[in-house]
Structure 1
């Protein structure tokens, strides 16, 4: 850290409160200052280069420094830098992007509503689910099922559906309308000798038992990421999504697919719902919709979801919800251009073509003495490490992630895993480069641990 009181590091500590950190620790250590980006690489303020192995926050599909997005943002700012979508107003980029999203949707969808983040979008869908139940004359049908280790955001409602304890502790969450079913991670929760098929059957039984215990007439919707992302890249077991959908249809429960991390090509299909044959009533998208160059999210809903909401707005006189930045013209212009680039450059195909290279590289790393398994789909993956019995949970993954940053690769450690989600523009050679550095980091952590045990 620079000693000068006027350095960016010193001013950051003095004035800037950060998310997802131990705030007292941050006051002592500060953070890594990222100054610029180029392709799959970012550079800190000393000029050191890093492979961004998590695409920022699972989101920078096009990599860093895509000039077309900067040019579109500049042009839109000069033409119409802002306008709202309240009170029967609209702007062109929002209409164009909504039209493209409906065309790209994996199942028939009716309308698109724009917000600025996945958290906001999930929060609004909760409100719309409740609004819809009231329209249908079912005021008791308000409960929402999330999953343990699922992640849907950090607003009061979306954090309540999230199934991660850190997002609940000391925030007085979850809300009492939110309940959680089992986490479908065969890697973490299979019983001794349990086959994948038997595990799936148990997960489905847990879900149906919860529905019956709560009362099907009280449950409005089920939220799920096709692949659980921030919970540790947890890939669903065979038959899971088919079984979930059968149960939800049986009890008239809506399915909300959270595609915030897996949408727009991450799994080798445009949407992960295609990868796992999911037919949702609502899809929540964000992150890769604009490569996070602008804050943007989009809710896609089918006609059966939309029509009762429209009816209720007519009965009441207004759909009394809106954000200042909903359908922001610069954000939607950037999102539209971003999706055009993904389509023009066949980046979804690039993910599909590189999947075997990526997963094989992870599997090879799983042979390392510190590791025990790997998992993934498309360009979304995790390396599960062996826990250190003499250290707190997650210590091994934290040590490897810390060493990786030192070596020039940024990833995310979650529980006992290190997780990867590189920009979709990555090449096979760059994947090999990234994993070669991971092996170096694993070797150095192992050597340090062995030396400490002597």
Structure 2
């Protein structure tokens, strides 16, 4: 159906440059226009409903309408619609939110710095690490290691940490001083017959060798998501973080836990660090911090890091970093209300109760002829499509297999997200019920079967 001349879709193509979108294809195909949300569903301009299988961008933990968060924003807008935290100013929502985060931290933390997105939080963490080491008189200890297929954002520093080619190509990234260690994906990267524990030991040994080769006095920090998100929902092998952290301790390398996706219950614990056994020096979070109703992120630092920052600021006269909207009172008030709701409804307990239905349900697709691996934990998972199950060989990227499945999903009333290696992510709103999980999986099964039929027809036509 051709949209009316003045429709949102037509106006969008004429005016908007979209993130993570093929701009030429968008000029031809146009957008899917979403007009409202309710629970785990969103609705397009024709009124068609879709189950949002990735909670927008891994983030709408409470779903797509919560009146308490609306009221929290309105109250704060009426009382104090804006103030900043520069030069020692503050306000109640910022202080209350910082206290709540410190109380909930997975390990003892000292202070909280606020920003507006996960990218800004990770970029701020990079600057803090450099500042910290300068303050300690270690100007060479500046290199930062992240991992191939890791995702840490899109600012210049955060995108450099991100270990995905499309975040680097044409952007002249990564910047100097950013290194990438191996990806902990056992399915693709383990040697034949190599157990998870042996694979983890090899990755730890490779990290140790990398630090030794660079010089331990030059390596400052290691960034890691507890479970990799945008890189493919990659769950680390058994004993991985235990062995990685031993290497970091050996060389006095800080650990930064990127909890932007995993935080606030996604993995079945309040933090992914608790589920996977991380003991971070710095923790970044965003997304579910406000259920993504308003932009806000946070960087928590332990006492050792804070003391270095404080000493540095005393020597210079200021800690010269911050954003106009750091700790903005309205997003902070919404985040405070969000965390209160999480506690009141026992969101983590709910995730633990319903997660088995999603994980077991996803694994029903393991025998499907198009599926190579099903993986996940808590309410995050992925189904990876392959051309050859025995060889674990992916499809030619030019075939755009996963994006085609996304379109079949839309026909079935699902919003799906495709990731590298033709993986389809699942990260629904954390308030999803078992009945909604089953409905989501049934619709996904129909979309997957429709894609299989389409590919068989193409194969026959090509003979």
Aligned to 1:446: 452
For residues 108 and 196 of structure 2, what CA distance do their matches in structure 1 show?
A: 32
Structure 1 residue 354 and structure 2 residue 354: aligned?
yes
Aligned to 1:410: 415
For residues 51 and 90 of structure 2, what CA distance do their matches in structure 1 show?
A: 40
2:119–2:154: 8 Å Cα contact kept in structure 1? yes
Report deviation, 1:4: 2.7
For residues 277 and 396 of structure 2, what CA distance do their matches in structure 1 show?
A: 41
Aligned to 2:400: 395
- For the structure 1 residues 121 and 452, does the alpha-carbon distance in structure 2 shift closer, same or farther, using more than 3 Å as the test? same
Report deviation, 1:3: 3.7
Three-state SS of the structure 1 residue aligned to 2:86 is coil
Report deviation, 1:36: 0.2
Report deviation, 1:46: 0.6
For residues 127 and 196 of structure 2, what CA distance do their matches in structure 1 show?
A: 36
For residues 238 and 175 of structure 1, what CA distance do their matches in structure 2 show?
A: 32
1:104-138 superposed Cα distances (whole Å, 9 cap, x missing partner):
01110000010000000100111110001000000
- For the structure 1 residues 449 and 323, does the alpha-carbon distance in structure 2 shift closer, same or farther, using more than 3 Å as the test? same
For residues 2 and 329 of structure 2, what CA distance do their matches in structure 1 show?
A: 39
Report deviation, 1:391: 4.2
RMSD, aligned CA: 1.2
Aligned to 2:391: none
Aligned to 1:38: 38
- For the structure 1 residues 329 and 94, does the alpha-carbon distance in structure 2 shift closer, same or farther, using more than 3 Å as the test? same
For residues 95 and 275 of structure 1, what CA distance do their matches in structure 2 show?
A: 28
1:135–1:308: 8 Å Cα contact kept in structure 2? yes
Aligned to 2:98: 98
For residues 417 and 8 of structure 2, what CA distance do their matches in structure 1 show?
A: 24
Q: Give the aligned length.
A: 454
2:259–2:272: 8 Å Cα contact kept in structure 1? yes
What is the TM-score normalised by the length of structure 1? 0.98
The more displaced of 242-251 and 354-363 is 354-363
Moved >6 Å (runs of 4+): none
For residues 36 and 140 of structure 1, what CA distance do their matches in structure 2 show?
A: 51
Gaps of 5+ in 1: none
For residues 394 and 143 of structure 1, what CA distance do their matches in structure 2 show?
A: 38
Aligned to 1:22: 22
For residues 101 and 162 of structure 1, what CA distance do their matches in structure 2 show?
A: 25
Three-state SS of the structure 1 residue aligned to 2:103 is helix
Aligned to 2:334: 334
Structure 1 residue 425 and structure 2 residue 462: aligned?
no
Three-state SS of the structure 2 residue aligned to 1:366 is helix
- For the structure 1 residues 129 and 391, does the alpha-carbon distance in structure 2 shift closer, same or farther, using more than 3 Å as the test? closer
For residues 350 and 3 of structure 1, what CA distance do their matches in structure 2 show?
A: 41
Report deviation, 1:452: 2.1
Aligned to 1:325: 325
Gaps of 5+ in 2: 389-393
Three-state SS of the structure 1 residue aligned to 2:418 is strand
For residues 143 and 391 of structure 1, what CA distance do their matches in structure 2 show?
A: 35
1:62-99 superposed Cα distances (whole Å, 9 cap, x missing partner):
00110000010011001111111112210110000000
Structure 1 residue 109 and structure 2 residue 115: aligned?
no
Report deviation, 1:358: 1.0
1:229-261 superposed Cα distances (whole Å, 9 cap, x missing partner):
010100010000001110000000000000000
Q: How does 1:195-234 map to 2 (within 5 A)?
A: 195-234=195-234
Q: Work out which of the residue numbers 433, 439, 442 in structure 2 matches 1:436.
A: 442
Report deviation, 1:196: 1.4
Report deviation, 1:2: 4.2
Report deviation, 1:400: 1.5
1:370–1:446: 8 Å Cα contact kept in structure 2? yes
1:40–1:426: 8 Å Cα contact kept in structure 2? yes
Report deviation, 1:390: 7.0
